[in-house]
Structure 1
Amino acid sequence: MIPQIVVVDDDPIILKNTWNTLTDAGFKVIIFKSGRALLEYTQDNAAPDLILMDINMPEMDGFEVIRELGKSETAWKNTPVIFLTANEDEDTETRGLALGAMDFIRKPFVVSVLVLRIKHAVELIRLQRDLESMVDEKTRENENLFLHVVESLADAIDAKDNYTKGHSGRVASYSKDIAARYGYDEKRQDKIFMMGLLHDVGKIGVPDEVINKPGRLTDEEFACIKKHPAIGGKILGNIREMPELQAGAKWHHERYDGKGYPEGLSGEDIPEEARIIAVADAYDAMTSKRSYRDALPQEVVRAEIEKGKGSQFDPRFADIMLEMIDDDKDYLMRDDPPDK
């Protein structure tokens, strides 16, 4: 692709000479006589590879223009700028670099030097962009690999329970949907999905015979089950790169009224993601078949979520779950959760 250069200068002779020089060198060149004209152009046009701009211009100088470009929500914000200037004042150069300018070229310029410096600048810019793209791609690959490992771990955890296979994936999906409806951006939605997948990781430390016991648990067995949040928090707390992962595992059995476990946290002291996962976890527990009962009817599930508002659940997230239940007219969400 032919590199595109935008040149901004109020001197028509400079514009003409620069256009001729860079066009002859193989660049696509667009010229403007003022910074205002450039800013108007940015509203409906794609960003170039490089902006070559005079500093001393009437109405708006180059410093003002680069500041306005920095406010853009488009690719223009990150477009490299090289200033053309006849001023050799050190303060001017310092000011321009502080505003984000890539370099300075002195006027009057030597044609061969201008072409070489622009070519080197464009090569450097494209090399940086290629490197950023490679880093982004490798980051996505690593994230996908991590997600696959987490999904496999979640499947292994669920496999300990003969009656709740797929539980972690469903809780993760419900949690992500609650978060999306609440206003989380996509990155935070993905994070809470991961936290939902791992919320029961502490069950690794609970004996299978306790998890799969068909009848009512004894006090001793229930005390054993209640250890899994703390175990999960300890396991995930060792992942230093994502310390927030432990929140869902450690605190999803806390209650909004402070009567939960393992620490008896209440209200806003419970991490927000854990409050979301708590509602999702309760919904899946009631809508899944267990060793001692079938899935509960939808109206019973809804009534229990309503009953738990402000006591077991954060009212905001309970209301979102009630909204999801009301949207699920045919009671199919439990079979095909969001983002399954």
Structure 2
Amino acid sequence: MIQKVHELSKVFQLEVLVVDDSSMMLSLAKRILESKYKVSLAQSGEECLIAAKLHSPKLILLDVTMKGMDGFNVLRLLKNNESTSSIPVILMTSDEHSETEIRGLHEGAVDFITKPFNPEILLQRVQNTIELSLLQKNLQFEVDKQAEKIKSFASQLMQACSSLVDAKDHYTRGHSVRVAKYSREIARRLGRSSQNLEDIYSMGLLHDIGKLIVEKSIIRKNSRLTDEEYTNIKEHTIAGYNFLKSISELPGLAIGARWHHEHFDGTGYPDGLKGPQIPEDARIIAIADAYDAMTSKRAYTQIRPQAEVRAEIIRCRGTHFDPAVTDILVQMIDEDKDYKMNEDGWNESLVESQPESK
């Protein structure tokens, strides 16, 4: 890798910006460096800041004791500007006091060169610094690329798991995706961050993962469940929690799975939590889950009319459902004039017409 970086500097003539108020020092530095690098010059701090933004050099050699704006002030401004903050800076100084070096390193310099400098040492320091900088940027690129692959894999895995749950009953196919979409839209209207919208979508996808332990005959039963069967199906919340709680990077997955059947008045399961004791994400998923149950064809029920669904949601405001979350869902229902919210593609088209979240 180092050899590749070295070859790159030869082929593309990487640029070095030299900043000094001495014409003699600028000329000397240019003669030493121009055999390997494209060299640009600046005689003041102001010229340096302009040149750094325009040319984005791979390295800046910056004199400390210049007239007007000194090197420390220039360094601070470079590091505080997003467009120049990543450019490595080597400070040049005739001051051999350690305090000067400590201050420069604290301000963000990567190295020091004492004037008058040895040509071979200058060239080697510049080369080493540029190579290290390019290696670090390449490493960060590879890390970002691998992180994106992992994120994509995780997303695909969650989609596959949600499909596996839905496959236990063909009547509920797509249920997890719809709950995820409704939850994300409710959260968006509550002003959640973009990252939180991704998180709650994932929670919605896997909220029913615990149903994998429930017998298919119970899930597909089209008549009233016995007390034993109902107890069995309620266990999916604990099973889902136990399955997901070890995923430390996204603890909300387990939260959504465990508490999406809690009721705002404390009459839900598995823990009988009440009001704000229930995590807000679980409160959102709970109402999204209930909405989809009423607007989807199931083994035991048909799709209910929109007006009836709306009335039921309002009836359960403050008992089953968080009032604030209920009001958001009612707003969404009222905007859904053609009763299309439970169809594929709804979320994308609706979100486009709504203001961005904070």
**TM-score of the two chains, using structure 1 as the length reference:** 0.87
**Structure 2 vs 1, CA of residues 30 and 275 (structure 1 numbering), >3 Å: closer, same or farther?**
farther
CA contact (8 A) 1:248 1:277 kept: yes
**Structure 2 vs 1, CA of residues 116 and 264 (structure 1 numbering), >3 Å: closer, same or farther?**
same
Ranges in structure 2 where 5+ consecutive residues have no aligned partner: 1-11, 350-358
Find the partner of 1:276 among 273, 280, 284: 284
Partner of 1:145: 153
Query: Shift of residue 126 of structure 1?
Result: 0.9
- Root-mean-square deviation (CA, aligned residues, Å) is 2.7
Q: Does residue 1:18 correspond to 2:29, yes or no?
A: yes
Partner of 2:9: none
Query: Shift of residue 266 of structure 1?
Result: 2.9
Ranges in structure 1 where 5+ consecutive residues have no aligned partner: none
Find the partner of 1:53 among 62, 67, 70: 62
The one-letter code of the counterpart of 2:73 is E
For residues 204-252 of structure 1, give each alpha carbon's deviation from its aligned partner in whole angstroms, at most 9, with x where no partner exists. Answer: 1212122111122233322222221111001111334443321111111
Query: Shift of residue 307 of structure 1?
Result: 3.8
Q: Does residue 1:3 correspond to 2:11, yes or no?
A: no
- Equivalenced residues, count: 337
- Distance in 1 (alpha carbons) for counterparts of 2:236 and 2:341: 27
Q: Does residue 1:322 correspond to 2:342, yes or no?
A: no
- Distance in 2 (alpha carbons) for counterparts of 1:153 and 1:136: 26
Partner of 1:201: 209
| SS at 1:276 equivalent | helix
Query: Shift of residue 118 of structure 1?
Result: 1.4
Find the partner of 2:144 among 117, 130, 136: 136
CA contact (8 A) 2:169 2:220 kept: yes
- Give the percent of matched residue pairs that are identical in Structure 1 and Structure 2: 44
Partner of 1:29: 40
| SS at 2:222 equivalent | coil
Q: Does residue 1:291 correspond to 2:302, yes or no?
A: no
**Structure 2 vs 1, CA of residues 235 and 88 (structure 1 numbering), >3 Å: closer, same or farther?**
same
Query: Shift of residue 2 of structure 1?
Result: 4.0
Partner of 1:246: 254
Query: Shift of residue 199 of structure 1?
Result: 0.6
The one-letter code of the counterpart of 1:221 is E
Partner of 1:81: 89
Q: How does 1:89-128 map to 2 (within 5 A)?
A: 89-128=97-136
**TM-score of the two chains, using structure 2 as the length reference:** 0.83
Q: Does residue 1:266 correspond to 2:277, yes or no?
A: no
CA contact (8 A) 1:12 1:33 kept: no
Partner of 1:164: 172
| SS at 1:52 equivalent | strand
| SS at 2:189 equivalent | helix
Query: Shift of residue 168 of structure 1?
Result: 0.9
The one-letter code of the counterpart of 1:29 is S
| SS at 2:172 equivalent | coil
Partner of 1:183: 191
